Amino acid sequence: MLQAVDKEVLNQVNSWLQSGLSCWLATVVQTWGSSPRPVGSLLTCNTEGSVVGSLSGGCVEDDLLEKLTAGELAANGPQFFQYGITAEETEKLGLPCGGHLYIVVEPLHPTVDTQTHFNQLTTALAERRCAKRVVDLKQGRTAIVAPCSAAPLAWDEQNQVLEHTYGPAHQLFVIGSGMVSAYLAQMALSLDYEITICDPRQELLDQFSVAGVRKVADMPDDAVRDYANDPATAIVALTHDPRIDDMGLMEALETEAFYIGAMGSTRSSASRRERLLALDLNPADIDRLHAPIGLPIGSKTPPEIAIAILAEITAVRKHRATAARDHVAAIA
């Protein structure tokens, strides 16, 4: 799934191309040892020297700009660069001890095909859909595969083929606009989540003052269906009002959301499960519900509850990412 900075890179590439400007797109395809940025990180620069994104925290970016100024970045086909292979280069670039990385750099020109290519890509991401780019360095060809499922980046060094699946940014969909929701939104924004706050009580929603979030006053079941039906979303119900929370949870448990949780005591959570069973929901789906929500850290205050919730969401998210990487390694 995309981090916010990488989504910004792709949007900037599309903007430059639609404006008639050429640019280069760099992707980290493999790392060893310590690395400031993960595999899949993106950077773009144009002929005027403008740069968006990050590959290493500064050192590799500077080297790429030097190559651009010196005319060493190809204009007609993708290139492959290695950094940190020797101790001297590692020291020169200021890479972490033992760290090195492989980077693919693609020249992009404002042709109709390339403009269409990146417009399709950014549109898919805006609609929270996955799209996969396939870059064949030997043939100098690129293609978009959509629809597709989320998958880790794949780099075939022997055949010089990059397959990079871009998924939507992780989203936290919150039912309820109370104090716990406010603390949770503030913390989740710092972890690169896109935040949607849903509350059909317009007067309460209007008072929600955290900047940088989307607010919707739809009924929770409709809002979940419209905004939160994808595997990069965590859904939490925090109103303490079963008439609102349960409505959203009924729909949430039918989605692909990677985490679904509801606030409440052990007793109220047991009652909630009984209500959901009485509404003919599948017991296996109800088992997906994290209730009481959050890791059991003894939280009492709104910020403590928010920490517990976000800690549990993070644990579930990281476990899924590790499982996906292990699966790819097993079949490679």
pTM of the model: 0.79
pLDDT at 328: 44
Region 40-68: what's the mean pLDDT?
Answer: 85
The Cα 107–Cα 22 span in angstroms is 8
**Residue 94, Cα to own-chain centre: how many angstroms?**
28
Exposure class string for 109-147: b at 16+ Cβ within 10 A, else e:
eeeeebbebbeebbebbeebebbbbebbbeeeebebeee
Q: Report pLDDT digits (tens) over 234-281.
A: 999 999 999 999 999 999 999 999 999 999 999 999 999 999 999 889
What domains can you pick out in the chain, each with its CATH number?
4-123 (no CATH), 171-319 (3.40.50.720)
- Closest by CA to 221, choosing from 202, 201, 246, 197, is 246
Q: What pLDDT digit, counting tens, does each position of 5-18 carry?
A: 899 999 999 999 99
Among the listed residues 206, 233, 213, the one whose alpha carbon sits nearest the alpha carbon of residue 316: 233
Q: Scan for tokens 């005027």, then name that residue.
A: 48
Q: Of 74-83, 93-102, 185-194, 285-294, which range is least confident?
A: 93-102
DSSP 95-123: PPTT-EEEEEEEEE---HHHHHHHHHHHH
